[in-house]
Chains A and B, each alone.
Chain A
Amino acid sequence: MVQDLGYLKESPSQTAGPYVHIGCTPNFAGITGVYDTDLGTTMVNDRTLGERITVRGRVIDGAGVPLKDALVEIWQADAAGLYNSPSELRGTADPNFTGWGRCPTGAEDGVFTFETIKPGRAPYKDGSRMAPHITIWIVARGINIGLHTRMYFGDEAEANAEDPLLARIEHRHRVTTLVAPRDGSVYTFDIHLQGEKETVFLDI
């Protein structure tokens, strides 16, 4: 016998189900008067530093149909590459930028939209720099455990070429599933849950 490590097990995930919008975006779901606003609706204000951008996309199932009952959350650094979090020890992030957004894909076209800023570059563990990116988390009915992925920026080819996470993707044609093309100030990022264009999802 040896000593028991004494670690607990993580609570197992269960699907967010068809009514995740009731719990996480009740105003959007038509349950008004409980909270003033839905959390994560606004990431920026007039004083936020950085280039204003729009991130737009859909979550698409294996039959090519966009989900209308998903919830998408994003988490990103500010324009200087700092996170608005107590675990950020490199400096103080822009107090006018939350870094976190939440959007239901409940509209008829299943599109999610975030009004945000383009993040700066944050360091990888070895001191090299990651390319600018947005961390994304997707839950919905039929998804048993939330899916993590990242969005990179189509106009950052040089930074993307030296990004340590993108470098780890063995099948190089799949790198493009994480890179959003730019059109004006809008980046479009469609997330494919399965099939030929399946997005690279992360165990991170």
Chain B
Amino acid sequence: MSDLSNNKPETGAFFQRDRAWHAPALTPGYKTSVLRSPQKALLSLDGTISEITGPVFGHSLLGELDNDLIHNFSKPGESAIGERIIVHGRVLDERGRPVPGALLEFWQANAGGRYRHKKESYLAALDPNFGGCGRTITAEDGSYRFRTIRPGAYPWPNGVNDWRPAHIHFSIFGHGFAQRLITQMYFEGDPMIWKCPIVATIPDKSAIEQLIASLDWANTIPMDARAYKFDIILRGRRSTLFENRMEGN
């Protein structure tokens, strides 16, 4: 492998998280945050080896249908009900570099806005052919893709008449545990995004827009499925070229 390979393990500490860009812990408009938000200041510390490192998941982990939510829970020969879509994009870091080998896990409501969960009380019907979870691992160029149905919007108990816009939850592992992230993807053109108290926990409009996937006409498959493009950015890491070397290492 040449020295120019970008596959060499990186050991730099991660860029400090921009806490003003993310939602604060306490957001009273999202009521559940009131009793679940730390009230004391976080202890800020440059990353150590405990956060710079992180678990790795091999592609061998994946089953054939893990990235196909239309079929990974359905009966043989059947498929989930709803608008067929492909979600794809790249996982990059803040320096714009691809993050290969990143495990992405996603979960969502069915086309009617109903989750398959014992605590779910929405009256919309379950789809017997839709489980609602999937996963994939990014390729060398940081790219990923999966197939699903567009989830429905649904009401939730917060205000009297609060609704979640259609969304897909993402859990992402980068290369270091400090990059661990959970977020949600929204859909271009959905007017409900701007009415949602959970979306509104993010203070900056351009930060919210970073979570809205674009309708990707070029990648839409004719007579089959529309495509949405959703790039995910993880914390960047410093170059280690001029970092002090640890004693004895």
B interface secondary structure, majority: loop
- Would you call B32 an interface residue if the criterion is a C-beta within 8 Å of the partner chain's C-beta atoms? yes
- Would you call B54 an interface residue if the criterion is a C-beta within 8 Å of the partner chain's C-beta atoms? yes
CB atoms of B233 and A122 under 8 A apart:
no
- Would you call A80 an interface residue if the criterion is a C-beta within 8 Å of the partner chain's C-beta atoms? no
Give, as a whole number of angstroms, the nearest-CB distance from A113 to chain B: 19
Task: With A10-B235, A85-B56 as known contacts, state yes or no: A135 contacts B248, CB within 8 Å.
Answer: no
| Chain A contact residue count (CB 8 A cutoff) | 82
Q: A67 — which chain B residues lie within 8 A by C-beta?
A: 36
CB atoms of B233 and A11 under 8 A apart:
yes
User: Which of A17, A18, A22, A89 is packed against the most chain B CB atoms within 10 Å?
Assistant: A22
Task: With A23-B171, A30-B118, A34-B131 as known contacts, state yes or no: A87 contacts B9, CB within 8 Å.
Answer: yes
Give, as a whole number of angstroms, the nearest-CB distance from A162 to chain B: 15
User: Which of A13, A14, A67, A127 is packed against the most chain B CB atoms within 10 Å?
Assistant: A14
CB atoms of B211 and A14 under 8 A apart:
yes
CB atoms of B54 and A87 under 8 A apart:
yes
CB atoms of A14 and B44 under 8 A apart:
no
B171-198 interface (Cβ within 8 A of A): 171, 175-178, 180-184, 198
CB atoms of B35 and A146 under 8 A apart:
no
- Would you call B24 an interface residue if the criterion is a C-beta within 8 Å of the partner chain's C-beta atoms? yes
The answer, among A8, A34, A35, for a CB contact under 8 Å with B233, is: A8
Q: Once the chains are docked, how many angstroms separate the CA of A158 from the CA of B38? A: 29
A126-165: contact bitstring with B at CB < 8 Å (1 yes, 0 no)? 1100100101010111111111101000000000000001
Task: With A10-B234, A12-B23, A13-B181 as known contacts, state yes or no: A87 contacts B18, CB within 8 Å.
Answer: no
Task: With A86-B56, A124-B48, A135-B177 as known contacts, state yes or no: A13 contacts B182, CB within 8 Å.
Answer: yes
User: Which of A35, A69, A90, A195 is packed against the most chain B CB atoms within 10 Å?
Assistant: A35
Closest to A69 in B: B119
The answer, among A33, A137, A142, A201, for a CB contact under 8 Å with B73, is: A33
CB atoms of A133 and B35 under 8 A apart:
no
Task: With A13-B183, A14-B182, A67-B36 as known contacts, state yes or no: A165 contacts B45, CB within 8 Å.
Answer: yes
Closest to A68 in B: B119
The answer, among A9, A20, A36, A88, for a CB contact under 8 Å with B94, is: A9
- Would you call B6 an interface residue if the criterion is a C-beta within 8 Å of the partner chain's C-beta atoms? no
- Would you call B17 an interface residue if the criterion is a C-beta within 8 Å of the partner chain's C-beta atoms? yes
CB atoms of B50 and A77 under 8 A apart:
yes
B7-31 interface (Cβ within 8 A of A): 9-11, 15-19, 21-25, 27, 30
Give, as a whole number of angstroms, the nearest-CB distance from A12 to chain B: 5
Q: Once the chains are docked, how many angstroms separate the CA of A19 from the CA of B171? A: 12
Q: Once the chains are docked, how many angstroms separate the CA of A83 from the CA of B17? A: 23
Task: With A12-B183, A14-B182 as known contacts, state yes or no: A125 contacts B46, CB within 8 Å.
Answer: yes
Q: B199 — which chain A residues lie within 8 A by C-beta?
A: 14
Closest to B249 in A: A90
Q: Once the chains are docked, how many angstroms separate the CA of A162 from the CA of B33? A: 35
Of B80-88, B200-208, B215-223, the one contacting chain A is B200-208
Q: Once the chains are docked, how many angstroms separate the CA of A102 from the CA of B203? A: 30
Q: A23 — which chain B residues lie within 8 A by C-beta?
A: 105-107, 132-133, 169, 171
- Would you call A188 an interface residue if the criterion is a C-beta within 8 Å of the partner chain's C-beta atoms? no
Give, as a whole number of angstroms, the nearest-CB distance from A44 to chain B: 14
Task: With A31-B132, A202-B42 as known contacts, state yes or no: A87 contacts B73, CB within 8 Å.
Answer: no
Q: Once the chains are docked, how many angstroms separate the CA of A30 from the CA of B115? A: 12
User: Which of A8, A69, A144 is packed against the most chain B CB atoms within 10 Å?
Assistant: A144
B26-64 interface (Cβ within 8 A of A): 27, 30, 32-40, 42-57, 61, 63
Q: Once the chains are docked, how many angstroms separate the CA of A88 from the CA of B106? A: 28
Give the top 5 A-B pairs by smallest Cβ distance, nearest first.
A127-B247, A23-B107, A142-B32, A85-B53, A142-B36
Task: Name 8 A/B residue pairs within 8 A (Cβ), A-sorted.
Answer: A12-B210, A22-B116, A23-B171, A24-B107, A31-B133, A137-B180, A200-B43, A203-B16
Interface of B with A (CB < 8 Å)? 9-11, 15-19, 21-25, 27, 30, 32-40, 42-57, 61, 63, 65-66, 72-73, 92-96, 105-107, 115-120, 131-135, 169, 171, 175-178, 180-184, 198-199, 201-202, 204, 207-208, 210-211, 232-236, 244, 246-249
